Structure 1
Amino acid sequence: MLPRLRRPASLLAALTIAVVPLTACSTGGQADDGTLTVFIPQLAGVDMSQSTTTKVLQEKFGVTMRFETSTYDASAAKEKRQISLASGDLPDVYMLIPWVDQFNQVELLRLGRQGIAVPLNDLIEQHAPNIKKAFEETPELRRLATAPDGKIYGMPQWNDCFHCSYGAKLWMNSDWLRKVGLPMPTTTEEMREVLRAFKTRDPNGNGQPDEIPLSGSTSDTLLPYFMNAFLYDPQSGNAFPSTLALNNGRVQLQAAQPGWREGLRYLASLNAEGLIDPGAFSQNRDALMAKGDLDGAPVVGAATVQHPALLVTTGHPDGRDKLYDPVPPLTGPTGVSYASYNLSTLPGATFLITAEATEEEQIAAIKILDWFHTQEGNIIGQFGDEGEGWLRPGPGDVALDPNLTPVFEQVPTDPEAPRDPEGPWGAAAGYYSTEEFRNAQVQSTDIYSPEGGERRLYEATKLYEGKTPQDQVFPYWNVWVEPDVAGELATLQTNIENHVAQSSLQFVTGQLDVDDDSAWNAYLDGLRNLGLDRYLQIQQTGYEAAG
């Protein structure tokens, strides 16, 4: 069974960092004053030194903490982290947030070999029983954290986000389906019939030919959902742009296979009929949302978004946000019906102890991390005090997974209210959110209410679970790339992915004729000229080394 494991913008984004001189490391923190210095993102309005989480940690572990903070802006946070590494004035520990900024695997190898990152193996063995338990419960976590040399240079945040793992979904206006008298489509040809009806039968009832049958955005692209009716496509919008997959244990690029051409041919035919929003290929999420929220009658029939809140504002005054339901994976002309799958835990590390930390500080840091791997530490660290950030379940409360006993309920926050300076650490403390932990949270049983949004996604994702060909999934999260080839691989990947994206767009929109063999062969030649063979060779070597 596939582990439900997400990753940020690009598999090899920012693989190269300036080589930090070994002189940047102190000799075990000789000039240290005994204070644990933590580099951590700080949410605007929150003071980490006054945070309820900080107060609990200082009292529980008898440690004084000082903070060097970055922001939740990914680019700024990454830049500040890299400056701190290059400055020679290191914190004792980095505690980051994966979707903001974290250490990638290449950085971990480099920093470990330079002596900047302290291996955690012995610290975990001697002082972290809960991390050891997590490794036993979730072997994939240990594998993800362990470098090819057997050392653990940093720890990732384990986030078993079910709906994140199957991100390439399609949501459709069920009210429109009823009005045109058609069932939810199950095949590519039934989808064509539905989109034609959306375009021609005035399902929004305003007497205007303003319906947009199908849309998307540059973040939530059309290809992955539809391509999976022709061959397995692991993409999930721009968050997972790679089309690498396995074929009998060999790494291959799906975008170079015949099935990719068939998928493009199908989408090109929909576009030629005017069934696809031209803006779907260039608009951002805000522009898509503007169409979903457009005053008057709804105009968008379906969109390839992970969840409907990316199309229509939750709690829309006319209730249109309740009209969109998930469409299961379509079956293509040859019987193919797959769903994209990606790791929901990001490879790399958010927790890293530097050589600046004394032995005492290293022990304190690993004990803090160990506590975050308990249910108590996970809840209090992320949500704060009971009664303020979270509640115990009450009579009649139902867990997200109704087969589980509910454990806690998050207290909703008012997005308009100023943040409490003493607020909890939030995402910076979420180190062991297993499937059971996430699914034991109390959720409303009304999936169309704002409080039931997570259940709506959970139930939608059940339609996609089990539709991934496990033998074709390329587990990039376990592939560690050696620093000496990381730069080459990053360049190859960027060039190849850009060529695939640009050429696919040209084929779908008719700028290139997908039925023209010379145009298709020129596309394939372009991949080869960009170094496809070398790209696959490096990935194959890494895959085989990972075992």
Structure 2
Amino acid sequence: MKKTLKQASSFMIISILTVYVSACSGQSASSSGQTGSTSAPQANQATEPPKLTNMTYWVANHAAASAQMKTFAEMGMYKELEKITGVKVEFQHPPLDVQQAKEQFNLMLASSQLPDVIETSWTTGYPGGPEKAIQDNKIIKLNDLIDQYAPNLKKLLADHPDWKKQVTTDEGSMYMFPFLRGDDKVRVFFGPGIRQDWLDKLGLKMPTTIDEWYTVLKAFKEKDPNGNGKADEIPFYIDKDLINTDAPFLGAWGINYSFYQDGGKVKFGPIQPEYKDFLITMNKWYKEGLLDKDFAAPNDKMFDNKMTTNQLGSSVFFNGGGIGKYAGLMKDKDPNFKLVAAPYPVLKAGDKAIWGQKDFASNGFGAAISTSDKNPIETVKWLDYAYGEKGDLLFNYGIEGVSYKMENGKPTFLPEILNPPAGVSVQQSLAKYNRATWSAPFVLSDNFQLQYLVYPAQKEALQVWSAPTLERKLPLITPTKDESSKFASIMTDIQTYRDEMLLKFIMGVEPIDNFDKYVKKIQSMGIDDALNIQQAALARFNKR
């Protein structure tokens, strides 16, 4: 899943699209004797299909799907679901561009007539969080509806109380049908990556510290690792939208780009002294041409071109839509191409990385039912199908006999799905049939993930990217109704200013000497009040 779960929004913050949530593992299918899924309950499948005929559904698109189809309605999974339930879904997709998607999301919410279902990151995508969305009369509270009409999800959350804690607000509101990662194996999927073949050609070791990264990037720029005799190498692409996914490089300084906890105290990374040191380093790299000059305006097609034309040496990648994607696209084009995971960097050799990417069971993404939906009971029944035995197979694997078959009691993808023709990635191959390589309101199976990671480099990436301790990561805390408006008002302005200034600092438009003025400006905008709200929310979460 590369720049697509690119599903979070401003610099270093995952928007409505990635990013891609606490460790509590579900019972594995192999130990329970089920079908290979870690997740779906095998009882309480809805006894009758919903009586809906049409539904509108707003959800971010994905590059792997949009390259092959206009809407998710053309996907094998949803075609089959329409046959099963009789419900025809009109999907409404915003543009793939993160900022444009955010703008369309806001316009959609301002409308008096909302889509029936809205799928997004409710903890970060909606100002003030899900409780505020209920308070604003945009989405409905689902507790009673799930209790009465969603037997599959109800049982699943009863069996996994830690999961229920993550998808319930402090005030006890259930607000979405969540995307859930059912096992530790499917919760690590993102991190730094580097061209191992370039390292080998230049006789360099894998970098583990920020200083070692600097040495490697300088060599990538100056020593022609792609061998074409031109100084066209791009040492590092600092992804404006994904670099903050649990702080792949910023984390070397022990902080992140938003709120985190240190010894139980909530802090805001972008005003810490360590953040200034990070900015000084990035500004130096930018001045020396070690960062892609286009980083401030990320573009998936441009990124793909730079990777597949042998220009780019390193960046941050998803395991499936990055390492796996480019291995597939380059396997016939360049047999020497080898993109691998790199450890999350630290400042001093031998230190343990604090920050890294690992989702909780829930990452805040899910499908909520809007207040415009005239058939909420039937919509609940339709959404609940995904959490039952048959829905589990459909959402994880697609259509039996078309994309998978059963072998020894486990769903197994057909060889042609996992070994697509040259120029087609495994993610694109799977996207014809399901959304399991990014997200959807269902439970992702570890059996799916182990099949999806077809290349040795992808399996190694799981180990490399699992090393950080993550002790400073905040759980999915949410403000109360009373706090929501104040918090949203404060943070909307602060995040806009933070993002604007980060670009200016890195690109040298704003002198680093003005960092103290920048911090004072954020303080004047109310960050202390926001910190108090977050501290109280953390205390409430711990008591849930």
TM above 0.5, yes or no, is yes
1:56 aligns with 2:56: no
Percent identical residues: 20
- Secondary structure of 1:330's counterpart equals coil
| Matched residue type, 1:157 | F
Corresponding position of 1:529: 524
Distance in 1 between the 2:300 and 2:373 partners? 43
Map Cα deviations across residues 150-181 of structure 1 (whole Å, 9 max, x no partner): 24244323245979865662221111111211
Corresponding position of 1:249: 264
Corresponding position of 2:248: 225
Corresponding position of 1:431: 441
Q: Which has the larger radius of gyration?
A: 1
Residue 51 of structure 1: CA displacement?
3.3
Residue 117 of structure 1: CA displacement?
6.0
Corresponding position of 2:41: none
Distance in 2 between the 1:439 and 1:6 partners? 19
Matched-pair contact (CA < 8 Å) for 1:163–1:457: no
Q: 1:386 aligns with which of 372, 388, 400?
A: 400
Distance in 1 between the 2:381 and 2:480 partners? 30
1:542 aligns with 2:540: no
Counterpart mapping for 1:185-200 below 5 A: 185-200=207-222
Counterpart mapping for 1:392-431 below 5 A: 392-393=406-407, 406-409=410-413, 412=417, 430-431=440-441
More divergent stretch after superposition (168-177 vs 430-439): 430-439
Map Cα deviations across residues 245-267 of structure 1 (whole Å, 9 max, x no partner): 01222221112112222222333
Distance in 1 between the 2:266 and 2:112 partners? 36
Corresponding position of 2:194: 172
Distance in 2 between the 1:214 and 1:12 partners? 20
- Aligned in 2, Cα 1:196/1:311: closer, same or farther, shift over 3 Å? farther
- Aligned in 2, Cα 1:82/1:162: closer, same or farther, shift over 3 Å? same
Residue 467 of structure 1: CA displacement?
0.3
Map Cα deviations across residues 470-507 of structure 1 (whole Å, 9 max, x no partner): 2x1122x231442x554443342233223333333333
Counterpart mapping for 1:288-367 below 5 A: 288-294=303-309, 298-307=310-319, 308=322, 314-316=328-330, 317-319=332-334, 322-333=337-348, 335=351, 337-341=353-357, 343=359, 345-347=362-364, 349-352=366-369, 362=377, 365-367=379-381
Distance in 2 between the 1:443 and 1:34 partners? 35
Counterpart mapping for 1:54-93 below 5 A: 54-58=82-86, 65=87, 69-71=91-93, 73=95, 78=105, 82=109, 86-87=112-113
Residue 231 of structure 1: CA displacement?
1.2
- Aligned in 2, Cα 1:430/1:375: closer, same or farther, shift over 3 Å? farther
Matched-pair contact (CA < 8 Å) for 1:163–1:458: no
Residue 543 of structure 1: CA displacement?
2.8
Distance in 2 between the 1:197 and 1:169 partners? 22
Distance in 2 between the 1:12 and 1:479 partners? 16
1:459 aligns with 2:465: no
RMSD of aligned alpha carbons: 4.5
Residue 204 of structure 1: CA displacement?
2.2
| Matched residue type, 1:206 | N
Map Cα deviations across residues 282-331 of structure 1 (whole Å, 9 max, x no partner): 4433333332233xxx2322223335369958423522784211111122
Q: 2:280 aligns with which of 265, 288, 292?
A: 265
Corresponding position of 1:152: 174
Matched-pair contact (CA < 8 Å) for 2:142–2:173: yes
| Matched residue type, 1:143 | K
Matched-pair contact (CA < 8 Å) for 2:129–2:478: no
Corresponding position of 2:34: none
Residue 350 of structure 1: CA displacement?
0.8
Distance in 2 between the 1:261 and 1:355 partners? 46
Corresponding position of 2:294: 279
- Aligned in 2, Cα 1:263/1:154: closer, same or farther, shift over 3 Å? closer
Distance in 1 between the 2:217 and 2:58 partners? 45
- Secondary structure of 2:266's counterpart equals strand
| Matched residue type, 1:44 | K
Q: 2:158 aligns with which of 95, 119, 136?
A: 136
Distance in 1 between the 2:267 and 2:439 partners? 37
Matched-pair contact (CA < 8 Å) for 1:172–1:302: yes
Distance in 2 between the 1:343 and 1:291 partners? 29
Distance in 2 between the 1:270 and 1:228 partners? 17
Corresponding position of 1:372: 386
Residue 244 of structure 1: CA displacement?
0.9
Residue 433 of structure 1: CA displacement?
1.8
How many pairs were matched up? 470
Corresponding position of 1:182: 204
Distance in 2 between the 1:100 and 1:538 partners? 18
- Secondary structure of 1:225's counterpart equals coil
Residue 527 of structure 1: CA displacement?
1.5
- Aligned in 2, Cα 1:430/1:481: closer, same or farther, shift over 3 Å? same
Corresponding position of 2:20: none
Please, what TM-score do these two structures have when normalized by structure 2? 0.71
Corresponding position of 2:70: 44
Matched-pair contact (CA < 8 Å) for 1:13–1:490: no
Corresponding position of 1:239: none
Matched-pair contact (CA < 8 Å) for 2:494–2:525: yes
Corresponding position of 2:227: 205
- Secondary structure of 1:280's counterpart equals coil
Matched-pair contact (CA < 8 Å) for 2:183–2:446: no
Corresponding position of 2:492: 494
Corresponding position of 1:504: 502
Please, what TM-score do these two structures have when normalized by structure 1? 0.70
Matched-pair contact (CA < 8 Å) for 2:324–2:453: no
Residue 357 of structure 1: CA displacement?
5.9
Matched-pair contact (CA < 8 Å) for 1:41–1:69: yes
Map Cα deviations across residues 123-144 of structure 1 (whole Å, 9 max, x no partner): 4445544323311343233123
Distance in 1 between the 2:530 and 2:226 partners? 48
Map Cα deviations across residues 349-390 of structure 1 (whole Å, 9 max, x no partner): 4143869767xx82x554444432123212225655311233
Matched-pair contact (CA < 8 Å) for 1:220–1:306: no
Matched-pair contact (CA < 8 Å) for 1:281–1:505: yes
Distance in 2 between the 1:529 and 1:188 partners? 32
- Secondary structure of 1:251's counterpart equals strand
1:478 aligns with 2:472: no
Residue 230 of structure 1: CA displacement?
1.6
- Secondary structure of 2:534's counterpart equals helix
Residue 101 of structure 1: CA displacement?
13
Corresponding position of 1:9: 9
Matched-pair contact (CA < 8 Å) for 2:127–2:492: no
Tell me, which stretches of 5 or more residues in structure 2 are unaligned? 17-49, 60-68, 96-100
